[in-house]
């Protein structure tokens, strides 16, 4: 998995609440058996018209946000389906960090498996970051995972919380499965015990 340490980049503002995974990547793009190549269809139904032309008003189609690496959004980002195609599409587009007041559980977890940092901050902080993002390409935000801070282009800084294990895995780019397999003896022991206690499982 790609490591995440610090990131300084353009942030795209998306002041919508309840951005669901159907919006992030509509179902017609779930038919792939690969993880790559979904960035072009990120936010497809908001980004393109019926003929496949870009809708100029959509934030990621605006020249100043085409290379955005951070997304600032409203409450309950990533709600709905468990599709990991959502973080795959976000990552493939080039976004490595999403900031919102809250995230849906499964989406939040899925981000970490793909080297994306989701940051939950109080609404007031997100409002400040949203304003900063609205300034366009010259306003570059800095996310420092080690220090757990987000800093606006004006130098205003917000501290964020993150699970220490998730932080560690992201900074080191660790593979969860490899880590868990190191605990195989604990799983073996659990399995033997469970086979005695609940043999019907």
Partner 1 sequence: MSPKTLYDKIWDAHVAHEAEDGTCLLYIDRHLVHEVTSPQAFEGLRMTGRTVRAPDKTIAVPDHNVPTTLDRAKGIENPESKIQVEALDKNAADFGIHYYPVSDVRQGIVHIVGPEQGWTLPGMTVVCGDSHTATHGAFGALAHGIGTSEVEHVLATQTLIQRKGKNMKVEITGKLRPGVTAKDITLSVIGKTGTAGGTGYVIEYCGEAIRDLSMEGRMTVCNMAIEGGARAGLIAPDEKTFEYCKGRPHAPKGAQWEAAMAWWKTLYSDDDAHWDKVVTIKGEDIAPVVTWGTSPEDVLPITATVPDPSDFTGGKVDAAKRSLDYMGLTPGTPLSEIEIDTVFIGSCTNGRIEDLRAAAAILKGKKIKDGLRAMVVPGSGLVRAQAEEEGLADIFKEAGFEWRLAGCSMCLAMNPDQLSPGERCAATSNRNFEGRQGRGGRTHLLSPAMAAAAAITGHLTDVREMM
How far apart CA 169 and CA 176 sit, in angstroms, is 8
Residue from 7, 15, 61, 134 binding partner 1 (CB under 8 A): 15
Within positions 40 to 69, which residues make up the interface with partner 1, using CB under 8 A?
A: 45, 50
Look-up: residue for tokens 């993880």?
Answer: 35
**Least Å from the CB of residue 103 to partner 1:** 8
Which residues ranging from 91 to 120 are in contact with partner 1 (CB under 8 A)?
A: 102-106, 109-110, 113-114
The answer to whether residue 80 forms part of the interface with partner 1 (CB under 8 A) is yes
State which residue, 81 or 142, has the beta carbon closest to partner 1.
81
Based on the shown chain and the rule CB under 8 A, indicate whether residue 22 belongs to the binding site for partner 1: yes
User: DSSP code of 153?
Assistant: T
CB neighbour burial string for 103-140, b if at least 16 within 10 angstroms, e if fewer: bbebbbbbbbbbbbbbbbbeeebbebbbebbebebebb
- 17-39: burial string, b at 16+ Cβ within 10 Å, e else: eebbbebbbbeebeeeeeeeebb
What does the binding site for partner 1 look like in residue numbers (CB under 8 A)?
15-18, 20, 22-23, 26-28, 30-35, 45, 50, 74-76, 79-84, 87, 102-106, 109-110, 113-114, 163-165, 176-177, 180-181, 183-184, 186-187, 189-191, 194, 198-201
């Amino acid at each position: 998995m790609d490591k995440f340490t610090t990131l300084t980049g353009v942030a795209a503002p998306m002041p919508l609440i309840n951005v669901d995974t159907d919006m992030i990547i509509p179902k017609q793009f779930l038919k792939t058996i690969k993880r790559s190549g979904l960035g072009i269809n990120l936010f497809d139904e908001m980004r393109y018209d019926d003929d496949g032309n870009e809708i100029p008003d959509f934030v990621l189609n605006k020249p100043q946000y085409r290379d955005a690496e951070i997304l600032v959004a409203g409450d309950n980002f990533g709600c709905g389906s468990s599709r990991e195609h959502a973080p795959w599409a976000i990552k493939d587009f080039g976004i490595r960090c999403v900031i919102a007041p809250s995230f849906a559980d499964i989406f939040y977890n899925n981000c970490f498996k793909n080297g994306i940092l989701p940051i939950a901050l109080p609404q007031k902080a997100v409002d400040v970051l949203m304003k900063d993002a609205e300034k366009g390409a010259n306003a570059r935000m800095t996310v420092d995972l080690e220090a757990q801070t987000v800093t606006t282009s004006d130098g205003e800084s917000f501290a964020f919380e993150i699970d220490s294990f998730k932080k560690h895995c992201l900074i080191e780019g660790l593979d969860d499965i490899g880590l868990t397999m190191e605990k195989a003896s604990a799983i073996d022991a659990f399995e033997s015990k469970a086979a005695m206690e609940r043999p019907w499982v």
